């Protein structure tokens, strides 16, 4: 059978069918290629050999050359063990096995030179090494070995079934012997010489059997770059293909709606960032390609006004527009805000949610199909088959990470040609993740706050400062302001959370008695209508304090609320703390966020609280969050597949990711179809990746 990298692992000498089944199940290794891409987690320095009289009591793994001079069985029952006396010129130590005694005695010879490797313990002034790795000195010297010994990922099941690190190393040596260590090059020569990259074969040899740390570091750099390069190449290609294949409606007119609003009804001067983003959107809409843009902007940065002005461009060109939000609260808020802004323009705008009445729905459906209804705002209800537009030209999605791919594609199918798409998010995504998770979208950022907004002052206070905090609340309420007090909500301990909330509510009610003070309370156990009633009381200013669980995180806009108190702040993630803080600071007054905690804090909690106190910048906060939690957690389940990288690390290798994206872009700008002779190797590798999806886990 001829060998290629797609050969099943069963055919590798030393594997066999039962090991192959285990390797496939535990580590996803089905082919030679998969084994080759099983990169080590870490390395041990095997250049140093210790003499027995040099041994010290440390936790390090060491190796000793010597001979076994005798075996004895010690102890009974569960304490039974096999002990071997191991000697060199300087002294003796013990090797200990708690299982497999019969096999060990049969397979090891007395008075023969061995190398033993493992951790040593000291017992009754004597060094002993439990379950050592042991190898004949002659084999050790001839083996395909390196100074730095690779330690591979493993599982409990593999260890229990005898597939130790040593076995995996042996299988890996066999793979290199059978393939002669020659592997096809996957990067073009000009790129390799620009970046001083070693060849693919050298990199693979030195990742598994590095001769020294310098070669290891060159191998890691080469393989990480390659992995990130092909992910970026794929995303950029996807974007280019999208632009060339999917024609959009060219919005050539900037007409009456847009100009009237801009010159006569704009409630405030646009920031430089808002103007820049509008310009990027106008360029997209004027080209022949479908717009596919992600708009990132922190809480309160003014994304809604940009969304409206984009919708007005659609209306000026005779098209309809829609805005879809993940929750009813948020869609109602968008509707009310946009309704107010659209009044002087005489635009017909409607709201469609799960709780819209049947008669209302009928009217909306008819007006949409006739074209009388120009802008529709709503929740998932917009995706229903009955919702048909006359000519939908623009779809805007708010907080898009809450919608799945199928849901979004339903929206595109509302028209014969897909509408232009603008995706908005107030959850800042670190640049490295944005490049990988949304690398096929064009990205715009609103990175400055509207004029007149003051940065929110954030402080951290311990529970024993509560009286001072209550005094501060009183002063703010005297000035006519309102206050949020938020309690954590962790699903598993709902009863405990409910108790915390009710205890908190009672202590606030004691310190802020009626009729002088009015308090609203909102939590998950209330009926939606009761929640809405309490929310509205607070919005209208009838209550001064809102005690709530995190239901207020998304989409409550009360410009008069100036204080956000977050109880047990250590139980919240950074992005949640940042979102909650964004509920205040919506008016021109100075706002405050007070993080209340107990004295018992983990290191991560301290970092989160210090970050919140130090900065209001959502992107900086997102970077810290990425470092603390890692990419998989931040992006949620549906995106985490993108981040299962073989060797690169989204957080630690962000400079390398930028470098990879830069080179992928440069190559595709000069040669979009990869037709040049110099790019042939890229095209071939890219096609292979498409065939064998298991080489890299790339983007869905």
What tens digit of pLDDT does each residue of 267-306 get?
A: 888 999 999 999 999 999 988 888 888 898 877 788 889 9
Task: Band the pLDDT of 98: cuts 50, 70, 90.
Answer: confident
Q: Which two tokens stand for residue 300?
A: 């309160």
Lowest mean pLDDT among 20-34, 134-148, 222-236, 577-591: 134-148
- Please give the Cα distance from 91 to 125 (Å, whole number): 13
Task: Band the pLDDT of 699: cuts 50, 70, 90.
Answer: very low
At 525 the pLDDT is 76
Task: Band the pLDDT of 606: cuts 50, 70, 90.
Answer: very high
Q: pLDDT averaged over the chain?
A: 85
At 144 the pLDDT is 58
Lowest mean pLDDT among 14-23, 523-532, 627-636: 627-636
Vertex 562 angle, CA 558 and 563, to 5°: 115
Q: Would you say residue 180 has pLDDT above 60?
A: yes
Residue 96 CB coordination number (10 Å): 18
- Please give the Cα distance from 268 to 74 (Å, whole number): 86
Give the pLDDT mean for 42-59: 82
Task: Band the pLDDT of 160: cuts 50, 70, 90.
Answer: confident
Domains delineated in the chain: 47-144 (2.40.50.140), 256-446 (3.40.50.300), 457-615 (3.40.50.300)
Task: Band the pLDDT of 384: cuts 50, 70, 90.
Answer: confident
Query: Looking up tokens 């790019």, which residue turns up?
Result: 679
> Could you tell me which residues come within 8 angstroms of residue 339 by beta carbon, excluding any fewer than 6 positions away?
349
pLDDT higher for 147 or 126? 126
At 328 the pLDDT is 82
Question: Can you give the pTM of this predicted structure?
Answer: 0.67
Residue 666: helix, strand or coil by DSSP?
Answer: helix
At 103 the pLDDT is 85
pLDDT higher for 56 or 353? 353
At 495 the pLDDT is 62
Q: Which two tokens stand for residue 119?
A: 């951790």
CB 534 within 8 A of CB 522: yes
At 620 the pLDDT is 83
Q: Would you say residue 551 has pLDDT above 70?
A: no
At 172 the pLDDT is 94
Q: Would you say residue 550 has pLDDT above 80?
A: no
The per-residue pLDDT for range 450-472, each reduced to its tens digit, is 777 788 999 999 989 999 999 99
At 655 the pLDDT is 85
The per-residue pLDDT for range 459-511, each reduced to its tens digit, is 999 989 999 999 999 999 999 999 999 988 655 456 666 677 788 888 899 99
- Please give the Cα distance from 700 to 687 (Å, whole number): 16
CB 35 within 8 A of CB 12: yes
Q: Which two tokens stand for residue 191?
A: 């790129």
Q: Report which secondary-structure segment, H or E, holds 420.
A: strand 420-425
- Tell how strand 420-425 and strand 292-297 pair up: parallel
Q: Would you say residue 640 has pLDDT above 50?
A: no
Give the pLDDT mean for 296-322: 90
Q: Would you say residue 636 has pLDDT above 60?
A: no
Give the pLDDT mean for 541-556: 75
Task: Band the pLDDT of 594: cuts 50, 70, 90.
Answer: very high
Lowest mean pLDDT among 523-527, 537-541, 567-571: 523-527
**pLDDT > 90 fraction of the chain, expressed in percent and rounded:** 43
Task: Band the pLDDT of 692: cuts 50, 70, 90.
Answer: low
At 363 the pLDDT is 94
If 0-12 CB within 10 Å is exposed, 13-18 middle and 19+ buried, where does residue 691 land? Answer: exposed
Give the pLDDT mean for 352-363: 90
Residue 87: helix, strand or coil by DSSP?
Answer: strand
If 0-12 CB within 10 Å is exposed, 13-18 middle and 19+ buried, where does residue 593 land? Answer: buried
């Amino acid at each position: 059978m001829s060998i290629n990298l797609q050969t099943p692992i069963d055919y590798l000498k030393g594997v066999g069918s039962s090991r192959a089944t285990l390797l496939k199940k535990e580590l996803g290794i089905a082919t030679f290629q998969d084994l080759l891409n099983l990169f080590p987690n870490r390395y041990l320095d095997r250049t140093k050999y210790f003499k027995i009289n040099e041994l010290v009591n440390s936790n390090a793994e060491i190796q000793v050359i010597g001979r076994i001079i005798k075996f004895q069985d010690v102890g009974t029952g569960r304490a039974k063990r096999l002990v071997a006396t191991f000697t060199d010129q300087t002294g003796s130590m013990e090797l200990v096995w708690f299982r497999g005694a019969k096999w060990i005695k049969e397979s090891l010879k007395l008075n023969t030179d061995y190398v033993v490797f493992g951790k040593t313990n000291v017992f009754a002034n004597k060094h002993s090494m439990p379950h050592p790795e042991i190898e004949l000195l002659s084999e050790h010297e001839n083996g395909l070995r390196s100074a730095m010994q690779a330690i591979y990922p493993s599982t409990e099941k593999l260890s229990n079934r005898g597939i130790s690190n040593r076995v995996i190393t042996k299988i890996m040596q066999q793979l290199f012997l059978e393939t002669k260590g020659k592997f096809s090059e996957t990067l073009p020569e000009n790129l390799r010489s620009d970046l001083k990259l070693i060849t693919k074969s050298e990199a693979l040899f030195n990742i598994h059997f590095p001769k020294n740390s310098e070669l290891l570091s060159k191998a890691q750099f080469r393989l990480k770059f390659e992995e990130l390069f092909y992910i970026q190449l794929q995303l950029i290609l996807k974007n280019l293909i999208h632009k060339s294949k999917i024609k959009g409606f060219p919005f050539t007119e900037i007409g009456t709606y847009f100009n009237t609003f801009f010159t006569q009804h704009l409630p405030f001067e646009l920031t430089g960032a808002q103007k820049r983003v509008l310009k990027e959107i106008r360029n997209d809409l004027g080209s022949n390609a479908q717009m596919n843009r992600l708009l990132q902007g922190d809480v309160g940065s003014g994304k809604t006004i940009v969304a409206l002005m984009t919708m007005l461009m659609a209306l000026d060109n005779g098209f309809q527009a829609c805005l879809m939000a993940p929750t009813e609260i948020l869609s109602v808020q968008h509707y009310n805000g946009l309704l107010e802004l659209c009044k002087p323009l005489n635009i017909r705008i409607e709201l469609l949610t799960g709780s819209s009445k049947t008669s209302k729905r009928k009217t909306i459906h008819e007006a949409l199909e006739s074209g009388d209804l120009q802008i529709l705002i709503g929740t998932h209800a917009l995706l229903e088959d009955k919702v048909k537009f006359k000519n939908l030209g623009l779809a805007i999605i708010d907080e898009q990470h809450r919608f799945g791919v199928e849901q979004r594609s339903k929206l595109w199918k509302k028209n014969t040609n897909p509408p232009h798409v603008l995706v908005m998010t107030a959850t800042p995504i670190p640049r490295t993740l944005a490049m990988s998770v949304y690398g096929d979208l064009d990205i715009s950022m609103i990175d400055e706050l509207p004029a007149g907004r003051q940065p929110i002052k954030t402080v951290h206070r311990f529970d024993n400062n509560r009286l001072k905090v209550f005094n501060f609340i009183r002063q703010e309420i005297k000035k006519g302001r309102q206050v949020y007090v938020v309690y954590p909500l962790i699903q598993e301990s709902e009863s405990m959370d409910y108790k915390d909330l009710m205890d908190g509510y009672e202590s606030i009610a004691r310190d802020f008695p009626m009729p002088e003070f009015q308090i609203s309370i909102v939590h998950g156990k209330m009926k939606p209508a009761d929640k809405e009633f309490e929310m509205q009381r607070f919005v209208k200013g009838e209550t001064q304090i809102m005690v709530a669980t995190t239901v207020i995180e998304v989409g409550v806009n009360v410009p008069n609320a100036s204080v956000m108190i977050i109880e047990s702040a250590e139980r919240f993630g950074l992005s949640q703390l940042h979102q909650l803080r964004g509920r205040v600071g919506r008016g021109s007054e100075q706002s405050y966020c007070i993080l209340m905690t107990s004295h018992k804090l983990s290191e991560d909690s301290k970092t989160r609280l210090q970050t919140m106190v130090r900065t209001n910048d959502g992107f900086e906060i997102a970077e810290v969050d990425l470092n603390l939690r890692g990419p998989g957690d931040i992006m949620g389940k549906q995106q985490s597949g993108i981040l299962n990288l073989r060797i690169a690390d989204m957080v630690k290798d962000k400079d390398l990711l930028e470098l990879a994206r830069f080179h992928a872009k440069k190559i595709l700008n000069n040669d979009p179809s990869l037709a040049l002779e110099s790019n042939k190797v890229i095209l071939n590798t890219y096609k292979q990746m498409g065939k064998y999806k298991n080489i890299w886990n790339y983007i869905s």
